[in-house]
Chains A and B, each alone.
Chain A
Amino acid sequence: MNRLSRDQIAARVAKDIPEGAYVNLGIGLPTKVANFLPVDRDILLQSENGLLGMGPAPAPGEEDWELINAGKQAVTLLTGGAYFHHADSFAMMRGGHIDICVLGAFQVSVKGDLANWHTGDPSAIPAVGGAMDLAVGAKQTFVMMELLTKEGESKLVERCSYPLTGLACVSRVYTDLAVFDVGPNGASVVEMVDGLTLDELRRMTGVALTA
């Protein structure tokens, strides 16, 4: 079975982002998607801390620490990009102006519920950031994640057991083994890696999957 690397998952997500899209990439794994966006498409990246038209990391030594992304890494601004304050930034995110957001996840349910901010561990200090706003506000919310935990448990589930980030907000899930559509009608398989069968995928996930 030909399991995808994290970079390959990011490249697969990038393939589905169309010309002219306004996109927010969540911190962590989704930031890799930026490295694979087709150069022949005008795609504008928004960052929650107040910039639209985010460019790549600056050369070492060229960092301006007043020009950072949501992950607090130094970035650049593309020609034509803009800065704005936090209420405007979240108006973009919550108000349906962002076409696609890509988020990481602990769990996604077949109905599109998302859990990605807290494991529920009582000793952990919780942090939520902009995840709940993005999950409910973008026109489409994509998740990218490895399908199984290190212990082999499926992160695509019938019902999330971790605390929820948003209800019925995810439409598509990109993983190292398959791509799924999720929503009111449950989960369906869009594609699988070479060498994997639908029966094997059903056994791994333990959820109802339509082809």
Chain B
Amino acid sequence: MIDKSFESPSAAVADIFDGASVMIGGFGTAGMPDDLIDALIARGVGNLTIINNNAGNGETGLAALIKAGRVKKIICSFPRQTDSHHFDARYRAGEIELELVPQGNLAARIQAAGAGLGAIFTPTGFGTALAEGKETRRIDGKDHVLEYPIHADFALIKAHKGDRWGNLIYRKTARNFGPIMAMAAKTSIVQVSEIVPLGALDPETIVTPGIFVQRVVETGAQASTAA
């Protein structure tokens, strides 16, 4: 019997190792899997490479992981915000490496990893500092930049409801990077407000089919706070 449900966030993240690459869903705090991150902080491993759109907001989630000094490198599109003080401090102290990626290239590179593509040609960034040194090609009269997939050992994702096969639906704009990160990581770990029986999710509206998900943990409903 396939049962991907785990009893607790700490059990679900128990094999995340020192130096792992970890995708974290969320755009600001919407979709940020706070319970899984709290469990990861409690686990104590560090030297992590984190892939997220931002670099932490406020005091919770990714911001707390950065504050705890567990992040060696972050791959993101928009680190600097009014409430990114924990990242800002570590970055200015030279304690965290930043790879800045245009947001659409970040999404496309994650999706390419999940889809088994060797690389993509994207028009985004051509002629800018973020494409310096990269291979380019003119295709149909338009200039493109060669970009490689972003893989990860783990993904930590927040979804709305899931079942024991790992099928997921999301809630509003908390969906954001969840579906493509679930595809791209070797082990995708999802916190949901509720694990429902098989068949309770309408197959016509399942957003992430369970094949992309390895672990589901029910953490109850909780409201995101302002970013």
Residues of A within 8 A of B (CB): 47-51, 63-68, 72, 74, 77, 83-87, 89-90, 93-94, 118, 124-133, 136-137, 163-167
Contact = CB atoms under 8 A, between A and B. Distances in A.
Contact of B78 (A93, A94, A129): A129
B224 A94 contact: no
* Interface core residue of B103, B178, B226 (most chain A CB under 10 Å): B103
24 contacts: A49-B30, A50-B176, A51-B173, A66-B171, A66-B172, A67-B172, A67-B173, A68-B173, A83-B170, A83-B173, A86-B103, A87-B108, A87-B179, A93-B104, A127-B100, A128-B101, A128-B103, A129-B78, A129-B103, A130-B102, A131-B102, A132-B130, A133-B102, A133-B103
A198 B226 CA distance: 47
A61 to B, nearest CB: 13
Interface in B72-120: 77-81, 88, 91-92, 98, 100-105, 107-108, 110-111
A84 B175 contact: yes
B90 to A, nearest CB: 11
A51 B225 CA distance: 19
Contacts of B98: 125-126
Nearest to A129: B78
A84 B79 CA distance: 23
Contact of B127 (A63, A72, A164): A164
B124 to A, nearest CB: 5
Contact of A163 (B105, B128, B225): B128
Contact of A130 (B81, B104, B224): B104
Given A129-B103, A137-B104, A85 B178 contact: yes
A87 to B, nearest CB: 4
Contact of A128 (B102, B122, B178): B102
B207 A126 contact: no
Interface residues of B, number: 53
Contact of B177 (A83, A86, A127, A165): A86
B interface, over-half SS: loop
Q: Which 8 A-B pairs have the closest CB atoms?
A: A133-B104, A90-B104, A72-B227, A65-B224, A132-B102, A66-B174, A125-B80, A86-B107
A126 B80 contact: yes
A66 B160 CA distance: 11
Given A89-B107, A128-B100, A163-B128, A68 B177 contact: no
A94 B124 contact: yes
B172 A125 contact: no
B128 A90 contact: no
Given A68-B27, A90-B107, A125-B98, 12 more contacts: A64-B172, A66-B31, A68-B173, A72-B27, A72-B227, A83-B170, A85-B179, A125-B79, A128-B77, A128-B101, A129-B77, A133-B103
B227 A65 contact: yes
Nearest to B29: A65
A202 to B, nearest CB: 28
Given A130-B77, A132-B130, A65 B226 contact: yes
A133 B172 contact: no
B80 A94 contact: no
